[in-house]
Amino acid sequence: MKKGSVLFTLGLLSIICFVRCDRFLGNRYHDKVEIIQEEKSPNGQYVATSFSCSGGGPAGYFYFNANLRKAAEELDQLDGLMGNHKDWKAFFEIEVRWIDDENLEVSYEEIDLPAYVDNNAVKVKSKYGIKIHHVIKRPKQ
Q: CA 127, 70, 96: angle at the middle one, nearest 5?
A: 65
Q: CA 79, 81, 87: angle at the middle one, nearest 5?
A: 60
pLDDT-based confidence at 30, cuts 50/70/90?
confident
DSSP 114: G
Could you state, in order of their start, the residue ranges of all structural domains in the chain? 1-29, 31-136
Interval 6-24: pLDDT, tens: 666 665 555 554 545 544 5
Interval 52-103: pLDDT, tens: 999 987 778 999 999 999 999 999 999 999 998 888 899 999 999 999 999 9
Average pLDDT over residues 22-48: 84
pLDDT-based confidence at 138, cuts 50/70/90?
confident
For residue 13, the model assigns a pLDDT of 59
- Output phi, psi for 80, to 5 deg: -85, 160
With 50 as the cut, is the pLDDT of residue 46 above it?
A: yes
Render the burial of 25-42: b for 16+ CB within 10 Å, e for the rest.
Answer: eeebeebeeeeeeeeebe
Per this entry, what is the length of the chain?
141
- CA distances from residue 20 to 3, 53, 62, 87 in whole angstroms, order as listed: 26, 19, 18, 18
